[in-house]
């Protein structure tokens, strides 16, 4: 079974598992969850909120393809 299938099976199981089993599973992975969770600063969160609001209000955005072209041009100038 590949990783994607395992994840899907676990997601499905977690939806129907009883609380005793959920607590047991959580106990096994709790430390990993705490280590892998990212804590963003309030300044970073505010900047993300600002960007989302600008996007939602119709500000001009750059597509990934446009950004790739711009970055490629900058790199070529540095050579």
Alpha-carbon distance values, 38 to 34, 44, 52 (Å)? 9, 12, 20
pLDDT at residue 71, rounded to an integer: 94
Average pLDDT score over the chain: 92
CA distance 3 to 32: 18
pTM for this one?
Answer: 0.43
Q: How confident is the model at residue 77 (pLDDT cuts 50, 70, 90)?
A: very high
Compute the residue count for the chain.
79
Q: How confident is the model at residue 40 (pLDDT cuts 50, 70, 90)?
A: confident
Q: Average pLDDT in the 15-30 region?
A: 95
């Amino acid at each position: 079974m590949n990783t994607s299938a395992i994840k899907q099976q676990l997601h499905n199981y977690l939806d129907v598992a009883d609380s005793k089993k959920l607590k047991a599973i959580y106990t096994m992975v709790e430390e990993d969850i705490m280590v892998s969770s990212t804590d963003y600063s309030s300044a970073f969160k505010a900047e993300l909120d600002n960007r989302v609001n600008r996007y939602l209000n119709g500000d001009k955005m750059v597509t990934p393809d446009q950004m790739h072209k711009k970055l490629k041009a900058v790199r070529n100038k540095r050579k």
